[in-house]
Structures are given as structure tokens and as C-alpha cells.
Amino acid sequence: MPHYDYDLFVIGGGSGGVRAARVSAALGKRVAVAEEYRYGGTCVIRGCVPKKLFVYASQFPEHFADAAGYGWTVPESKFDWSRLVANKDREIARLSGLYQSGVESSGGEAFHSRATLVDAHTVRIEAEGRHVTAEHILIATGGRPNPHAALPGHEHCIFSNEAFDLPDLPRSIVIAGGGYIAVEFANIFHGLGVDTTLVYRGMEILQRFDMDLRHRLHEEMAAKGIRIRCHTILEEIEKRQDGRLAAVITGGDVLITDQILLAIGRIPNTEELGLAAAGVATGVRGEILVDAYSRTNIDNIWAIGDVTDRVQLTPVAIHEAMCFVETAFKDNPTQPDHDCIATAVFSQPEIGTVGLSEDEAGKRFNNVEIYSASFRPMRHTLSGRQERMLTKLVVDGDSRRVVGAHVLGPDAGEMAQLLGISLKAGLTKDDFDRTMAVHPTAAEELVTMYKPTYLVKDGVRVA
Ligand code: NDP
């Protein structure tokens, strides 16, 4: 039996890598992690966490406006971008420290270095210029924004990474894309007072979500003042003499703006990792190919998270890490379960969703029942805000199973977490019906929609 320096060497100290390292080390395994940037990865350093903090920051103007209906007089408000960035940085530094200390306090070793594969069992720690060996190697290097190299002038644009640390808040911004990042940042910047335009190539933002949510969110964002241009792409960007940017879009219109943010998807971080040296196979997008257990074509090398380009979500990477530990170290082969993943878009209003959209359900089931309610949430009665909430259940009429649940409105993400349990458990509409409502809440609508709003038979909506 060959002797290795470590039982496990993890490349990448993000959510997935750190979880795998921490749990394996706690089992008594000899574990090391290498992270070239900051512990915490995309989610903590320049993704979910700072994004949510910025969402909170951007919501205050609406809270101030809504306060009047509740009897409050709010003095003139003023926003300080650099204070927000500095406070965010402090919180991120705290969390990053916790990620690293979590590895170390479990008995693992944390390197601040890029690490590359030399062969199937050897890793080079670049910062120290030395090689170490490991029985198992786990690649969890995540992804990065698609640079959109085909766009002339793309070098003048920023990505979500830079958006968190801009020296100044721009007066105007154009955002390209219609996915999570584009939509979330459009709302953040608009909420902070930035003149915001979203440019999306498709017919409606947030492809893959339920169409009612997509339309309604589009309407609400437009009503707030965000310009959304669908069926439109950026064709060319030019930097003007005054430092501003000119973006030529479909049809020849030119948008003059301070910043352009590209949010057109993320690509796996697999370059110069030594994958070829170790014989690890990659796919067309550069993603590491893995089997159902997250094992690559090389028996002792595994990969989890965004680098595998399965489902690019933090909780998925963490789940894959836990399954990896079961499989590699607990003699309990466990496949990550990617079915029925609840998710939230932190737009304003927020989206919380799990399961099938109406369109997807219509393709899979012959008899679909749709239950939906659109109403003004109680908090907006006194505030006077016109924003409406949407709740929608998609039910397979034959089995009675609820196969999709969709919410647009305040706290929709929190609701999606709990709806996720119900749908994962395969609960039926009858289970929802006999669940007592929690009153007065917005979520009670989810258990009080007794009659179908309409039916979808063989994919076609009927009365
Ligand atoms: P998404 O995959 O969500 O969206 C990418 C968007 O860019 C789509 O609207 C796509 O259009 C568009 N697009 C792709 N290529 C081009 C192109 N060449 N020209 C113009 N438009 C293009 O990616 P994001 O970058 O928004 O986010 C990356 C990942 O991060 C997501 O997959 C998500 O899983 C994760 N994330 C999750 C969050 C959350 O959980 N709240 C928040 C932020 C990110 P089309 O629809 O036509 O394909």
C-alpha cells in the first residue's frame, strides 16, 4: 500500500471544498486544502453573501417610502456607497476567516496557494514550490463569469465580481443577461438610485422559471423604473472621451452609460490545473466530467460544485461534498440528488420556486391543475404600494401530487425552503388542503387555494 502525505487534498476553498475538507478531517482523515484567493469562494467572497447584503441595502428607499402609511416621518435619507462596501468587506473577512479556521479546527491544513495536479496522486503547491501526495484529490475550483470575448469592447465591461467593489456608485448602468445575476443586480442598482437598463436576448427574463413569475416580475421591475429590453443584445461597446461607455444594441440604438455589467453565465475554472497531466477528462465547456458519485474518469480524483457545471448553486456544491465524504470515506456510496431543488431569485419582489413550471408540467402530465392567487400583501395595505404578490401551485391531476410551487413577493425565498420539503416528500394537494393556515400571513394562500384556477390538458390550457 503506497504511503501518501494526505488522505485527501482539496483544490479550492469555497463552499464545496471547505465542507468536504472539514467533514473528512473531523473523521480523522489527513486533509489539506489549497485556496489561491480567499477562503469562502464565490458564494462568500463575491456571490450570494455580499449580494444579499447589497439587496438589503437597496431595499431601504422603499422601506422609507412605505413608512409614511404607518405614521412615520422619515427624515431625508442619504446613501454612502463606500460605507456599504467597507461594512460588507468587514463581514466577508469575518466569514472568510471562519471558513479557514473551520478546516483547521477540524484537524485539516489550509494552504494559501494555487495548487495544480502533477499526476493522479501528486499536487504541486505553487506558492511553496513543493509537491505533496494524496490518496484522494477533490477538485472544487468553482467557476468565473463568462467574459463574452466575442463582444467587441468587452474589455470595458465589468462582471459581478467587480460590481461589489466599484470605487464609486455609477449614475447609470446597463446590464446584459436575463438570469439570476442580471436580474438581481438590476434591482440592487436601481434600488440604490442608479439609472438601470437590462438587455436580454430572449423573449422574457429568467428562462426556466414559471412564465407567470417571469411576466409579473418583469412588470413590477418596469413599474419601478428599470428599463428592460428583451430580444436585444449588446453588439459593440466603445469607451468615449468623457470616460462613459457607448453600447450599440440590436437595431442600432446606442445606450450611453457609466458602467456595463455582463452577466451571461459562468464558466468552470479548469485552465492550468494540470488536468491533462493527471489524465482528467473535461467536457465541451471545460467542465470536469464526473459520474453520479462525483468521481472523474481517474479513480481517485473527484470533482464537485460549479467546476462540474451540473447545477451552479452553493447548497448543491455542499450537498455534493457531503455525498463525496460518504462515498470516499464512509463506505456508503451516495449519489447527490439533483431533483427538485428549491431556489430563490433575490429580485425585488423576490422569487421563490421549487419543482416544475406550468409549461414543464404540461409536457410531462396529461392532466395538470393550476392553483394561483394574486393579491396585495397586507404590508402594502397601509403603505399604499401597489405591488402584488403571486402564489401558484402546479398539481398533477392524476396522482394529486404538487409538482411545482412558485411564489413572487416578500419573503418568497424563505417560503421556497419550506415548500421544498413538501415537494421533496411528494405531498399531494390534499395534504396542502388539510394543513391549517397560519394567519395572517402571505404564505397562508398556499394552503387555501381550494379550487383549481384552470386546468392544462395534454399541454393545452382549458377553462
Ligand atoms: P444564468 O445562467 O442564470 O443566466 C445567464 C443569462 O445570460 C441568461 O439569461 C442567458 O440567456 C444569457 N446569455 C448567455 N449567453 C449569452 C450571450 N452570448 N449573449 C447574451 N446573453 C447571453 O447565469 P448568471 O450569470 O445569471 O448566474 C450564474 C449562475 O450563478 C446561475 O446559473 C445560478 O445558478 C447562480 N446564481 C444563483 C443565485 C441564486 O441562487 N439566487 C444568484 C446568482 C447566481 P438565455 O436565457 O437566453 O440562455
SS3 state at 15: helix
CATH annotation of 6-144+267-329: 3.50.50.60
Cell (9 digits) for 17? 471544498
- 338-347 pLDDT, tens digit each: 999 999 999 9
CA–CA dist 23, 102 (Å, integer): 10
Peptide bond into 377 cis (omega under 30): no
Q: Cβ(143) to ligand 1 under 6 A?
A: no
Q: Cβ(383) to ligand 1 under 6 A?
A: no
CA-wise closest residue to 119 among 12, 279, 8, 2:
279
Instruction: Answer whether residue 1 shows pLDDT above 70.
Output: no
Catalytic residue positions? Answer: 439
- 80-124 pLDDT, tens digit each: 999 999 999 999 999 999 999 999 999 999 999 999 999 999 999
Question: How large a percentage of the chain has pLDDT more than 90?
Answer: 99
Q: How close is the Cα of 250 to the center of ligand 1, in Å?
A: 20
Band of residue 157 on the pLDDT scale cut at 50, 70, 90: very high
The chain-wide mean pLDDT, for the chain, equals 97
Band of residue 13 on the pLDDT scale cut at 50, 70, 90: very high
Give kind and range of the element (H or E) at residue 187.
helix 180-191
Predicted confidence at residue 224, as pLDDT, reads 97
Which segments of the chain belong to CATH 3.50.50.60? 6-144+267-329, 154-264
Predicted confidence at residue 105, as pLDDT, reads 97
Instruction: Answer whether residue 47 shows pLDDT above 90.
Output: yes
- 172-207 pLDDT, tens digit each: 999 999 999 999 999 999 999 999 999 999 999 999
Contacts of 60 (CB under 8 A, 6+ apart): 77, 79, 191
CA–CA dist 270, 149 (Å, integer): 17
Q: How close is the Cα of 44 to the center of ligand 1, in Å?
A: 19
Q: Cβ(202) to ligand 1 under 6 A?
A: yes
Predicted confidence at residue 80, as pLDDT, reads 98
Q: Cβ(180) to ligand 1 under 6 A?
A: yes
Residue type for position 155: E
Residue pair 260/196 in contact by the 8 Å Cβ criterion: no
**In this structure, which residue's CA is closest to atom 28 in ligand 1?**
265
Q: How close is the Cα of 176 to the center of ligand 1, in Å?
A: 10
Instruction: Answer whether residue 323 shows pLDDT above 90.
Output: yes
Instruction: Answer whether residue 435 shows pLDDT above 80.
Output: yes
Which segments of the chain belong to CATH 3.30.390.30? 343-462
CA-wise closest residue to 233 among 203, 194, 209:
203
Band of residue 277 on the pLDDT scale cut at 50, 70, 90: very high
Q: Cβ(250) to ligand 1 under 6 A?
A: no
CATH annotation of 343-462: 3.30.390.30
Contacts of 294 (CB under 8 A, 6+ apart): 302, 303, 304, 308, 320, 323, 324, 327, 336
CA–CA dist 65, 72 (Å, integer): 10
Q: Cβ(178) to ligand 1 under 6 A?
A: yes
Give the right CATH number for 154-264 from 3.90.550.10, 3.50.50.60, 3.90.1150.10, 1.10.645.10: 3.50.50.60
Cell (9 digits) for 291? 459520474
Q: How close is the Cα of 343 to the center of ligand 1, in Å?
A: 14
Q: Cβ(346) to ligand 1 under 6 A?
A: yes
Q: How close is the Cα of 180 to the center of ligand 1, in Å?
A: 6
* Pocket mutation for ligand 1, best pick of 198, 205, 229, 312 (most atoms within 8 Å of C-beta): 312
Predicted confidence at residue 463, as pLDDT, reads 75
Predicted confidence at residue 325, as pLDDT, reads 98
Predicted confidence at residue 398, as pLDDT, reads 98
Beta bridge partners of 138: 10, 302
Instruction: Answer whether residue 401 shows pLDDT above 80.
Output: yes
Index of the ligand 1 atom closest to the CA of residue 181:
26
Mean pLDDT on 257-261 = 98
